[in-house]
Amino acid sequence: MKLNHKNVKARVPEGMAASLQKIGVFMPEEVFLELVQNQTSRPPLGPVLAAHSNLTRIGALADGSGSVGFGHIAGPGLSVVTIRVQMGAAQIYCLADASCRQLWTVIDTWRGNRQAPVALIEDGQVLYSVPDIDWTPGKSTSGIDYLRRECERDMSVPFMEFCSSLAASGTIERQATSDLEGIKLSHVEVNILMPERLTRYIGAPLSAGGPPVIVLPDSPRGGGRH
């Protein structure tokens, strides 16, 4: 599908610049439908996880199979929720701030709808998929929900600093394992998820173009790295 030339804009504060390869955002379903000009037979039932991606590579590896999963990475005094989207032998990791209430609202919406709409974007094109989530209210359990308690603190800046370093290190790509039985990973991408409260640090909008620049305010550096 092709995208309309419309951006999700954000203001830029003064601070410390850090270039990132890729970011992801939670895109409201009405915004996504406008961007793709309603060219989808399965409209999203909730926010769409949208991210820049290497569509040529992922398209070559996608075979119709897919999944979405969640995990956890311990950072220096903070927690990172990982959202794993797999399409065939390709896997896209999104690193999310466990202290962000919007993250948990979206996860609850996805669980309620039992689907997680995903849009991968590159050069005016979008690869859209809707992996199912196996979730039964009152019965299903998850190893990440205890991290909701971190919403008592705003860890935006240390989260961005830690994940900028983690995403650039190649650690996740080296350690990632397949979520689909019988399929070995051939390609892994890592995105940093930017919820609404973090978009003030984006120096360029998420659009059909290239990667953005992230601008962070000065702050004390946290120690340690995963």
Instruction: Tell me whether residue 222 is in a domain.
Output: no
Instruction: Tell me whether residue 9 is in a domain.
Output: no
The answer to whether residues 150 and 99 touch, using CB atoms and an 8 Å cutoff, is: yes
The answer to whether residues 1 and 182 touch, using CB atoms and an 8 Å cutoff, is: no
Instruction: Tell me whether residue 11 is in a domain.
Output: no
Q: Which of 81, 89, 73, 97 lies closest to 169, judged by CA?
A: 73
* Structural domain containing residue 91: 16-216
Helix boundaries (H) for the chain: 29-35, 55-61, 101-113, 156-169, 171-175
Query: Number of folded domains in the chain?
Result: 1
- Give me the tens of pLDDT residue by residue for the chain, a chain 226 residues long: 544 433 333 322 233 233 344 788 899 999 888 888 777 878 899 999 998 888 889 989 988 888 999 999 999 999 999 999 999 999 999 999 999 999 999 999 999 999 999 998 887 788 889 989 988 888 888 899 999 999 988 888 889 889 988 998 999 999 999 999 999 999 999 999 987 776 666 554 444 444 444 343 443 333 322 2
